[in-house]
């Protein structure tokens, strides 16, 4: 989507009042909509209020109203109700509950089993998982087992929505080689953004009997964000949320604001980016990260230490924190510019936690696993993410630019596309053959970052091309999600093992909801 067109569509009031994008605003002056827009702007007596509603910054709960600096708590476990070996059986209920989160006021959240984050599922390769999902929401919902190699009819896709007040049994067996760090969240089309930002998400770990890092102690950090207004309510998305993806002012680890964390170098840390749209660029000053695993499990070898750790929305990683001396420091999220629309951001780093790191002796195996090469691809797929201009006739040039959930969605429908089309549940966009090795090329033909996610399997990235320069992938890793920078092309090899319907989409949940998603039919 061209930025000039976007400014024309939304109206220049917010841009001109804040001084954002002066060159873009100048480009707008010759447009056919300019005179009408200037007339409309003259009638806007509450410009500051409008900017706040568009950007979601008006009347928010101050950060100091939420308890912080408390010891990080472990994620609660989902109890296995089965006495049979190799069977994990449990119930997850999605339901509105009221919790006291900030300013001693109650907040209605939507939670699995009354907990935020939802309870953690831990199972082993070879286990059969049976989870009864009860939908006690007012909306249809599903549970999508993000990254897990489950059959298509158990994947919780939008075509299999569970109606309000109904239930559904998910049943699948975890195959050999599936050990990794996964998560679960809703996936009903048109509702996923709201259901996640109101609290519905949880972690899922698959373990291997022969895990080479089983001797290491573990910590789990599920990072999410939450927006609360001054009355401690969770507000609806603003126009800017739909365009750029929603980010809450509270960035939480295991549901806690700025907790105190104590770790030892040599501990295995699993990290989830469970945010709707926030990117993570993590750093602990005077420490380094040793990457040992990605979405689909362990790497072949530990990677050399790095200062920062980049995690796009929906990605998961496994790391070791290294330090030669004891450190009393902070877990920082360094600013990452993902090229948001119509936003002039300051490069602000966020402190996510106070952290004490104790230096200890530890040893990692030189070889963690072997990742099988899929071999030569016999089929190809090309996917393009893009953005399109909105219909000016649907834009509200009078009154509130906030407009509410439905109106904002309607105004931005058809804005985000896959291969030039917005999502249609009834349309099959691509077809793959069961068991066939394919090479996919995914192109981000837009000015902003988009995280790509493919259902039902893991894949191996082989190369990236950015600004005309080919960048071979430095190491082999199993992934189901990766970030696409503006105008970047990423190539990966993949194989779908089960027949049925799969999906692929942008994992900025607002973009997915607005149509940046497509169906894949595996035959």
Each residue's pLDDT tens digit, 179-198: 999 999 999 999 999 999 99
Mean pLDDT of 259-283: 98
Label residue 1 by pLDDT band (50, 70, 90).
Answer: very low
Residue 436's CB is within 10 A of a number of other CB atoms, namely: 14
**Residue 111 contacts residue 199 (beta carbons within 8 Å):** yes
Helix (H) or strand (E) holding 37: helix 34-42
More confident residue, 420 or 22: 420
Residue 400's CB is within 10 A of a number of other CB atoms, namely: 14
- Euclidean distance between CA atoms 210 and 248, whole angstroms: 40
Residues pairing with 522 in the sheet:
432, 500
Nearest CA-CA partner of 187 in 159, 210, 208? 159
| Residue whose pair of structure tokens reads 């599903």 in the numeric block | 142
| Res 38 pLDDT > 70 | no
- Euclidean distance between CA atoms 385 and 514, whole angstroms: 13
Label residue 344 by pLDDT band (50, 70, 90).
Answer: confident
Residues pairing with 353 in the sheet:
331
| Res 56 pLDDT > 90 | no
Nearest CA-CA partner of 411 in 391, 431, 388? 391
Per-residue model confidence (pLDDT) at position 501: 98
Label residue 58 by pLDDT band (50, 70, 90).
Answer: low
Percent of the chain with pLDDT over 90: 82
Mean pLDDT of 234-262: 97
Nearest CA-CA partner of 158 in 456, 418, 501? 501
| Res 36 pLDDT > 70 | no
Q: What 3-state DSSP class applies to 331? A: strand
Per-residue model confidence (pLDDT) at position 389: 65
Per-residue model confidence (pLDDT) at position 119: 99
- Euclidean distance between CA atoms 491 and 443, whole angstroms: 9
Contacts of residue 457, Cβ cutoff 8 Å, sequence gap at least 6: 149, 480, 494, 495, 496, 497, 502
Lowest mean pLDDT among 200-204, 344-348, 476-480: 344-348
Residues pairing with 257 in the sheet:
68, 252
Mean pLDDT of 156-168: 98
- In order of 21, 26, 35, 47, 54, the CA distances from 16 in angstroms are 8, 10, 15, 10, 14
Helix (H) or strand (E) holding 27: helix 22-28
User: What are the percentages of helix, strand and coil residues in the chain, rounded to 5?
Assistant: 15, 40, 45
Alpha carbons within 13 A on the beta-carbon side of 9? 22
Residues pairing with 327 in the sheet:
357
- In order of 105, 275, 276, 450, the CA distances from 314 in angstroms are 30, 7, 8, 11
Mean pLDDT of 368-392: 89
Mean pLDDT of 295-308: 97
Per-residue model confidence (pLDDT) at position 10: 44
- Euclidean distance between CA atoms 96 and 113, whole angstroms: 10
Walk me through the domains of the chain, giving residue ranges and CATH numbers: 3-45 (no CATH), 87-207 (2.60.40.420), 218-358 (2.60.40.420), 379-522 (2.60.40.420)
**Residue 91 contacts residue 82 (beta carbons within 8 Å):** no
| Res 13 pLDDT > 60 | no
**Residue 288 contacts residue 305 (beta carbons within 8 Å):** yes
Contacts of residue 310, Cβ cutoff 8 Å, sequence gap at least 6: 279, 280, 281, 282, 336, 483
Nearest CA-CA partner of 269 in 326, 200, 307, 316? 316
Label residue 246 by pLDDT band (50, 70, 90).
Answer: very high
- Euclidean distance between CA atoms 477 and 167, whole angstroms: 36
Label residue 18 by pLDDT band (50, 70, 90).
Answer: very low
- In order of 102, 299, 461, the CA distances from 477 in angstroms are 40, 6, 7
Per-residue model confidence (pLDDT) at position 410: 66
**Residue 185 contacts residue 224 (beta carbons within 8 Å):** no
Question: Regarding beta strands 118-124 and 202-207, do their DSSP bridges make them parallel or antiparallel, or are they unpaired?
Answer: parallel
Label residue 368 by pLDDT band (50, 70, 90).
Answer: very high
Per-residue model confidence (pLDDT) at position 403: 42
Q: How far is C-alpha 94 from the chain's CA centre?
A: 19
Per-residue model confidence (pLDDT) at position 414: 74
- 138, with CB counted inside 10 A (0-12, 13-18, 19+), is exposed
| Res 295 pLDDT > 50 | yes
| Res 206 pLDDT > 70 | yes
**Residue 362 contacts residue 344 (beta carbons within 8 Å):** no
Residue 113's CB is within 10 A of a number of other CB atoms, namely: 18
Mean pLDDT of 31-43: 35
Question: Regarding beta strands 437-445 and 416-418, do their DSSP bridges make them parallel or antiparallel, or are they unpaired?
Answer: unpaired
**Residue 516 contacts residue 424 (beta carbons within 8 Å):** no
Residues pairing with 506 in the sheet:
452
488-515: per-residue pLDDT in tens? 999 999 999 999 999 999 999 999 999 9
| Res 479 pLDDT > 90 | yes
Q: Is the preceding omega at residue 117 within 30 degrees of 0, hence cis? A: yes
Q: How far is C-alpha 342 from the chain's CA centre?
A: 21
98-107: per-residue pLDDT in tens? 999 999 999 9
More confident residue, 227 or 21: 227
Per-residue model confidence (pLDDT) at position 30: 34
Per-residue model confidence (pLDDT) at position 85: 95
Residues pairing with 309 in the sheet:
282
Mean pLDDT of 223-246: 96
**Residue 411 contacts residue 394 (beta carbons within 8 Å):** yes
């Amino acid at each position: 989507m061209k930025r000039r067109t976007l400014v024309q569509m939304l109206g220049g009031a917010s841009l001109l009042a804040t001084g954002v994008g002066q060159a873009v605003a100048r480009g707008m002056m010759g447009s056919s909509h300019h005179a009408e827009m200037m007339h409309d702007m003259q009638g806007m007596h509450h410009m500051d209020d409008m900017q706040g509603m568009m950007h979601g910054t008006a009347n928010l709960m101050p950060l100091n109203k939420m308890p912080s600096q408390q010891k990080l708590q472990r994620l609660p476990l989902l109890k296995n109700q089965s006495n049979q070996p190799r069977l994990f059986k449990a119930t997850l209920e999605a339901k509105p509950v009221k919790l006291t989160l900030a300013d001693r006021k109650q907040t209605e959240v939507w939670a699995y089993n009354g907990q935020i984050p939802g309870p953690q599922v831990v199972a082993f390769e070879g286990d059969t998982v049976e989870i009864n999902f009860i939908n006690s929401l007012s909306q249809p919902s599903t549970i999508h087992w993000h990254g897990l190699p489950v059959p298509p009819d158990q994947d919780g896709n939008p075509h299999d929505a569970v109606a309000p007040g109904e239930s559904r049994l998910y049943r699948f067996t975890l195959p050999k080689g599936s050990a990794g760090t996964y998560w679960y969240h809703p996936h009903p089309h048109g509702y996923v953004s709201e259901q996640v930002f109101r609290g519905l998400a949880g972690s899922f770990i698959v373990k291997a009997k022969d895990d080479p890092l089983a001797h290491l102690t573990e910590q789990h950090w599920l990072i999410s964000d939450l927006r609360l207004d001054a009355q401690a309510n969770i507000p609806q998305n603003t126009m800017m949320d739909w365009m750029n993806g929603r980010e809450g002012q509270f960035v939480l680890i295991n549901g806690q604001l700025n907790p105190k964390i104590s770790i030892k170098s040599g501990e295995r840390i699993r990290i989830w980016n469970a945010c709707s749209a926030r990117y993570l660029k993590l750093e602990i000053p005077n420490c380094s990260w040793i990457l040992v695993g990605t979405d689909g499990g362990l790497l072949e070898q530990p990677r050399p230490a790095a200062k920062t750790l980049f995690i796009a929305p929906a990605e998961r990683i496994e790391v070791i924190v290294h330090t030669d001396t004891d450190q009393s420091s902070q877990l920082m999220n360094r600013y990452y510019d993902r090229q948001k629309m119509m936003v002039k951001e300051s490069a602000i780093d966020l402190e996510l936690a106070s952290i004490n790191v104790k230096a200890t002796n530890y040893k990692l195996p030189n070889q963690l696993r072997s990742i099988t090469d899929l071999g030569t691809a016999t089929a190809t797929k090309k996917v393009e993410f893009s953005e399109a201009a909105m219909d000016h006739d649907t834009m509200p040039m009078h009154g509130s630019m906030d407009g509410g959930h439905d109106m904002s969605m309607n105004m931005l429908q058809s804005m985000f596309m896959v291969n030039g089309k917005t999502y249609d549940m009834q349309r099959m966009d691509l077809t793959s053959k069961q068991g066939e090795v394919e090479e996919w090329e995914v192109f981000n033909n837009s000015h902003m970052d988009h995280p790509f996610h493919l259902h039902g399997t893991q894949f191996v990235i082989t190369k990236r091309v950015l600004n005309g320069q080919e960048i071979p992938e430095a190491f082999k890793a199993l992934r189901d999600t990766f970030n696409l920078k503006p105008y970047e092309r990423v190539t990966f090899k993949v194989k779908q093992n089960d027949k049925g319907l799969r999906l692929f989409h942008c994992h900025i949940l607002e973009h997915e909801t607005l149509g940046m998603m497509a169906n894949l039919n595996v035959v």
